[in-house]
Amino acid sequence: MLIPKNADTVYVLNTGFYRSNDGGRTFTGISVPHGDNHDLWIAPEDPQRMIEGNDGGANVSFNGGQRWTDQDQPTAQFYRVALDKRLSVSHLRCTTG
């Protein structure tokens, strides 16, 4: 993800969370409350304000990722969902991580 106001700032999310300030030549890790990072929203008018989504939920930062809010919302991630041919809720099976 690129920052619209600064093309040299690049974020990469995966099992870690990384930022480059030199257009992607080098990266530095950013500490987040939970691993397996999936999504990042950065406020267009204030790139210090961001929301990061991960397997544990979501966290908010107001200082460019230096500090994050706690994950205090209940969150679950489904890894598999299976239905049988009876199409009844009583036959819905889910596994979570």
Confidence of residue 33 (pLDDT cuts 50, 70, 90): confident
Backbone φ and ψ of 12, nearest 5°:
-130, 130
Whether the predicted pLDDT of 94 surpasses 70: no
> Percent of the chain having pLDDT more than 90?
43
Tokens encoding 85:
């041919």
Tokens encoding 61:
């930062």
36-71: per-residue pLDDT in tens? 898 999 998 899 999 998 888 889 999 999 999 987
Q: What is the mean pLDDT of the chain?
A: 83
The closest alpha carbon to 71, from 63, 87, 79, 60, belongs to 60
